[in-house]
A and B are shown apart, each in its own frame.
Chain A
Amino acid sequence: MSKNTIQKRNSHSARLAKSPTGIAGLDEISEGGLPCGRPTLLCGSAGCGKTLLAMEFLVRGVTEFGERGVFVSFEESANELAENVQSLGFDLKKLVTQKKIFLDHVIIERSEIEETGDYNLEGLFIRLDYAVKQIGAKRVVLDTLEALFGGLSNEALIRAELRRLFRWLKVRKLTAIITGERGEKSLTRYGLEEYVADCVILLDHQVADQITTRRLRIVKYRGSLHGTNEYPFLITSQGFSVLPITSLGLNYPVSTRRLSTGNEELDGMLGGKGFFRGTSVLVTGTPGTGKTSIGTQLVDAACGRGERAIIFAYEESQEQIIRNQQSVGIDLRPWLRRGLLQIHAVRPTVYGIERHLVEMYDRTRNFSPHIVFMDPINNLSVTNKPNELQTALIRLIDFFKERGITAVFTQLQPMSEPEAMLGVSSLMDTWLELRNEEDEGVFRRTLFIRKSRGMAHATQRREFKITARGVELESPIASPRRDGRKEFVTL
């Protein structure tokens, strides 16, 4: 989402000041970021990414928003932290040297400490205050405060001091993230949520069919609108990436410009001019109906006009695609050579759908194509969760539409039940249905425009051939009906 959109949204909920995190996706679902000048509780089980998220919040605070930050670590040492976030491309040591981030490693060794009589945790406050003043910090991370409970025996005292600490942070208007370990019955093991009332974020990871999906949910956000769903997130080489499912709403620019399909006849069926640019196109069909050829033809035509295109192939390798398309008269090699075309071929099962999405986002952002062709979308979702593919597609389509990219998706219909759809057609602006129909011992390929929003499109099923010159539509023909009778249609 562009910065403008975020700002526009902020004006709606301007009552509560927010500190943007700069973390991809998180600012969208939190409608602008974390509560400014207040503590946010970040909880989750071990290894779910709390420390990394908190650190990214600090690093981006410095690099993107000019706000310095203090990281108080109760677990990892400064060196360990620096090493861990290096994988996200953050040079923590440099930021520390530049006095933009202050790291304080608090070690509590219970075995070394004898408790006798009354005490308080003023030492922690003094250290925090010192760190904040040293660099003029606006952001603070405490990771994880619950270590106090393990290190000191007087729980009532710790609780009283925590209450004081959160007040202390608020009075100083520090935007803080406090992390907490997930408890069995409560959000955190020691019930930190009862102290942090403003914003609570929960991280989680689930393993389904051997593929891990990390999820983020805003449990509560006082005084603010926020997305309430569980949002998948990834830890990528560029940091966190939360994938808001419908972050954009439906407010992207709409184009009236058209995009030729690369086939005059097919353009003719689509109101004479082809698809609308920036829309989504679904091509469905049973195996061998020519879905890939229809899509490749479009890509070939686009590259021929000097436009850029990406093919995301989930069944064939790059070489296979090139060879197979040559047989139907489409040569993709010049476009690859000239840098107009990228083919990204990967087995869908290699990783979960979330990582595929991020991969697509990254490549699309880097290459800014005019057209994206995904072939096919079926295998993207290898788990049995029925809505997974649909929600992923909603996100993808939003993403492409926002950028005015025309996206073509193929979907394989199983032979056994050719009508079985995975409920994605409603998301598409145009739906081309391909069939292999047997007519007295001869298989004929037919094409039918099930829908095409916003244009007067042909309504008859057309036979087509795939020849050495590509896809060729026959003139309007007799269409075999299910009852075996024949019906002739005319243009």
Chain B
Amino acid sequence: MKQRSTRPRAASAAAATVWWLRLYVAGRTPKATEALANLKRICETRLPGRYRIEVVDLVKNPALATADQILALPTLVRKQPPPARKIIGDLSSERRVMAGLDLLTT
């Protein structure tokens, strides 16, 4: 109880919400598969039961690239909780993914 009260407010709010993560890929490439596997692994350890992963294949839906300003692939976008954050690459470095998602404090 005491420990929880020292947490930053944003992190405690984040801890309560379901994380909505959107992964943009271009087709089922090895890189895309790897990124998704990496993401699932990190979520399972860090956000068990509190995450939702949505995969957007831009080859099938190219029009969706503009809204989130996608340029590099793969790109992971944290849609919830706000603010939106972006991580590009195959998500191979767990530590950097955590930093990018702002997960280190939770």
Contacts and interface: CB of A to CB of B under 8 A. Distances in A.
Interface in A144-174: 148, 151-152
A114 B96 contact: yes
B87 interface: yes
A118 B75 CA distance: 11
A249 interface: no
A116 B86 contact: no
Contacts of A117: 35, 38, 89-93
B88 A115 contact: yes
A207 interface: no
Interface in A111-126: 112-124, 126
B88 A113 contact: yes
A478 interface: no
Q: Which of A106, A112, A121, A152 has the most CB of B within 10 A?
A: A112
Interface stretch (B12-20, B46-54, B63-71): B63-71
Contact of B62 (A113, A116, A118, A130): A130
Contact of A123 (B63, B72, B97): B72
Contact of B73 (A104, A108, A115, A123): A123
A8 interface: no
A119 B90 contact: yes
Q: Which of A106, A115, A123, A126 has the most CB of B within 10 A?
A: A123
Contacts of B66: 104, 127
B58 interface: yes
B81 interface: no
Contacts of B88: 113-116, 119, 152
B89 A123 contact: no
B13 to A, nearest CB: 20
B65 A126 contact: yes
A118 B87 CA distance: 11
Nearest to A148: B71
Contact of A115 (B24, B63, B65, B89): B89
A108 B89 contact: no
B11 interface: no
A107 interface: yes
Contacts of A108: 69, 71
B62 A129 contact: yes
B91 A127 contact: no
Contacts, number: 94
A129 B71 CA distance: 13
Nearest to A125: B26
Contacts of B31: 118-120
B59 interface: yes
Q: Which of B26, B31, B73 has the most CB of A within 10 A?
A: B73
B85 interface: yes
Given A112-B85, A130-B65, A123 B70 contact: yes
Interface in A87-137: 104, 106-108, 112-124, 126-127, 129-130
Contacts of B38: 117
A197 B35 CA distance: 36
A116 B65 contact: no
B96 A106 contact: no
A222 B87 CA distance: 41
B99 interface: yes
Nearest to B26: A122
A129 B69 CA distance: 15
B73 A119 contact: yes
Q: Which of B72, B73, B92 has the most CB of A within 10 A?
A: B72
B59 to A, nearest CB: 7
Contacts of A127: 62, 65-66, 70-71
Given A114-B99, A130-B63, A107 B72 contact: no
Given A116-B96, A123-B24, A129-B62, A107 B69 contact: yes
A116 B93 contact: yes
B87 A121 contact: no
A112 B100 CA distance: 9
Contacts of B89: 115-119
Contacts of B97: 114, 116
Contacts of A118: 31, 89-90, 92
A26 B70 CA distance: 35
Contacts of A126: 26, 58-59, 62, 65, 70, 73
A414 to B, nearest CB: 63
Contact of B85 (A114, A121, A124, A152): A114
Interface string A398-423: 00000000000000000000000000
A115 B74 CA distance: 10
Contact of A121 (B63, B71, B96): B71
Nearest first, the 5 A-B pairs at minimum CB distance are A114-B100, A117-B89, A117-B92, A130-B62, A117-B90
